[in-house]
Structure 1
């Protein structure tokens, strides 16, 4: 619970302080200031959390091999954690592909992450 809560909080703060369109297109230039170091550290920790939850979801589904019915009844929260990680990693790919669409993936990842945190934990 605490790892996921820390992951969502760090992701939220990093998303809040991300550069906007007036700073150019992604990936944004890095300025050597204290705020930039904190922001990039938050982004790196968020991506590492996304990778962790992605592989945890794969491990869960490989070990349990739930049926489609079992996923939607018993493992619904695990499915949502996995989708959250997919959205976050999709935002990462789009960010480094210089696409502004990464913001949409990041917003849905944040919304799903907060929903998971507030409802399922």
Structure 2
């Protein structure tokens, strides 16, 4: 692994942030700056904290800490998508929730991998 971009969880988080961004642009204008803005920020935070954590990968506990932050942002994003699903059933937010469920499981597994098998350079 030469870069955080090589991490599958980062690649998926990046892709999903773009999808969420595009979906939220379908919201009514007044919602673009309320719930839309909030869910866009939380979806982008997932990928950003993975990247920041990777930058601290030399310090295993720091890396884990940022992966946990990323997972927490994912939960926040899912919560917002669940609300949008109820408020705007004509926009397919349910598919994004399913994607984030899958990504959440992958991040969790990656955290376990880092905890048990990650080797830091001395």
Please report the TM-score for the alignment, with normalisation by the length of structure 1: 0.43
Q: Which has the higher contact order (CA 8 A, sep 6+)?
A: 1
Please report the TM-score for the alignment, with normalisation by the length of structure 2: 0.43
